[in-house]
A and B are shown apart, each in its own frame.
Chain A
Amino acid sequence: QKEVEQNSGPLSVPEGAIASLNCTYSDRGSQSFFWYRQYSGKSPELIMFIYSNGDKEDGRFTAQLNKASQYVSLLIRDSQPSDSATYLCAFQGAQKLVFGQGTRLTINP
């Protein structure tokens, strides 16, 4: 079983709608969870992190964590064409930082 699994893409969402990205993880010792965004040809950059159960909001982005279900998600409200990118979830366990395979998101104008 892979340590991190993301919902398969690609995902296409109309502009202004909510984009929902999901991720499950297998390591119950994981402490922190991250969402990174990667534009084509660029390196990943951090969008949000979360380590407590529940929701965390930052502008149009909301991260949700459910440790009992080993599930973390990212919601993007009012999606914009500039949100088109690959989104990578990651978890940190001890010193290790492990990423999922990524979900390519396209926002259609």
Chain B
Amino acid sequence: DVKVTQSSRYLVKRTGEKVFLECVQDMDHENMFWYRQDPGLGLRLIYFSYDVKMKEKGDIPEGYSVSREKKERFSLILESASTNQTSMYLCASKIRGGWGTEAFFGQGTRLTVV
């Protein structure tokens, strides 16, 4: 059974804190993604990675960074959390390339910045 696991389901952080969101997949997928989901805006791509230590900016990378030191783990870092980063964060992984290959999602982390 395929699995993408995010470290926390709910998280409350203070403004200015450094926040780490962790994602682990057990499918040996090359590609991993971080999205945020806000009402009416769908899933917006923050960063993605297609290999260990490789990363690419998505559509809204400002205020975020990522780390991929091992193939199975992709971390999203909020360098200095702000209230406008309150959102649902979703991690996904998929096999590289391949037409029609499915992306598998974690359960999501609802982050509230106060």
Contacts and interface: CB of A to CB of B under 8 A. Distances in A.
B40, B43, B58, B92 interface centre (most CB from chain A within 10 Å): B43
A31 B92 CA distance: 19
Interface in A15-40: 31-32, 34
Contacts of A61: none
Contacts of A62: none
Given A32-B100, A43-B108, A88 B43 contact: yes
Given A43-B108, A44-B43, A102-B42, A97 B96 contact: no
A51 B99 contact: yes
Range, interface on chain A? 20 to 34
A26 to B, nearest CB: 12
A99 B90 CA distance: 12
Contacts of B45: 96-99
A7 to B, nearest CB: 13
B41 A101 contact: yes
Interface of B: 31, 33, 35, 40-45, 48, 50, 56, 58-59, 90, 92, 94, 96-97, 99-103, 105-108
23 contacts: A3-B59, A6-B42, A32-B99, A32-B101, A34-B102, A34-B103, A43-B108, A44-B43, A44-B105, A46-B102, A49-B100, A90-B43, A92-B99, A96-B45, A96-B58, A97-B45, A97-B94, A98-B45, A99-B35, A99-B42, A99-B44, A101-B40, A101-B42
Interface of A: 3, 6, 31-32, 34, 43-46, 49-51, 88, 90, 92, 95-102
